[in-house]
Amino acid sequence: MKKVQVLMSTYNGGTNIVKQVNTILDQKGVNVYLTIRDDGSEHSTLLILKKLDEKYQNVEIHYGKNIGYRKSFLSLLNMVKKDIDYCAFSDQDDIWKENKLVEAVKILDENDNKNKLYISSLDIYNEKGLFLDKHDISRVPNNIYSLFSRNRFAGCTFVFSKELALLSNEYANLEMLYYEAPDHDFFLAAIGYCFGFVYLDHNSYIEHIRYENSVTSGGNGIFKRLKVEYKIVFFMRNTRLNFAKTILVHEKDRRKLKPEVSDYFKIVVNYKKSLYSKLKLIRLINCGSVLCNIESIIKVMIGNF
């Protein structure tokens, strides 16, 4: 059986962490190794993590300072084991179906590209266990243009090769991430599109729990949605531009970009300087959502892309 290292970042998750850990360790058809990095939780959560560490041999806990979930997840790429086949990101409070990992592994095993990434849909539940919605990615175009228009993928669905994890870690260590940086799921998916293979599965193998204080908005009402969308348009500045610029600068030192990605990144880095590049960038915006496409066009027009 293939060995999968699950990378989880925790922060004041309490007993919800135990439920999620149990569903990870109960995965069928794969050997699981769980690596947890705690992002500076309070004492009660630390006690729970300590008990998990003592109970399971295939669970490893790292206690860190609070650096935020973006950097916490990316720092987990530094902890990837040499003897594993695949990695997976995990939130601290979801419920995984027992075949979540093996279904992804079956698909990834069929592709010869070393840098490969599997992404799936997910089912959204509230904290009382009631179904809210399915986050269905079946209509999301599978290309770099869609991802840059708007990231509609959830990192907790990601399963990816060890090689993609190590390659992503190389770029993460370049310190390309600014204060208003892209999330870890955008980052890893972008590296996948740059240098590898990305598979989108419309099926769901996760019960994703949405809390009132969740960072993302899905299932939390129109007011929370509007607040998040406003922040994305007007406060998340230059995340795509900075990413594209960094990849292009270091391309010769590392890996050869796919030609279509290289051409697209050149458009992105020049869109503020050239009206032609700006119009071409707008024409390439398409993430499968009319609202998100409009927001991306606004970001281009005001120089926040």
Given a contact cutoff of 8 angstroms between Cβ atoms, the answer to whether 207 and 125 are in contact is yes
In a 10 Å sphere around its CB, with 0-12 CB exposed, 13-18 middle and 19+ buried, how is residue 170 labelled? middle
The pTM of this model reads 0.93
Q: What is the DSSP string of 132-150?
A: EEEE--TTS--SHHHHHH-
Given a contact cutoff of 8 angstroms between Cβ atoms, the answer to whether 7 and 61 are in contact is no
Q: What is the pLDDT, as a whole number, of residue 217?
A: 47
Q: What is the pLDDT, as a whole number, of residue 104?
A: 98
Q: What is the pLDDT, as a whole number, of residue 253?
A: 59
Q: Which long-range contacts (CB under 8 A, 24 or more apart) does 245-249 make?
A: 245/269, 246/171, 246/174, 246/176, 247/171, 247/194
Q: What is the pLDDT, as a whole number, of residue 176?
A: 57
Q: Read off the pLDDT of residues 65-75 as tens digits, 9 standing for 90 and up.
A: 999 998 999 99
| Torsion, CA 82, CA 83, CA 88, CA 94, rounded to 10 | -120
Mean pLDDT by 10 residues, the chain (305 residues): 98 95 98 98 96 96 94 95 97 96 98 97 93 95 98 97 95 66 91 97 95 55 73 82 90 78 96 97 97 95 94
- Six-digit token pair at 295? 């927001």
| β-pairing verdict for 116-126 and 159-161 | antiparallel
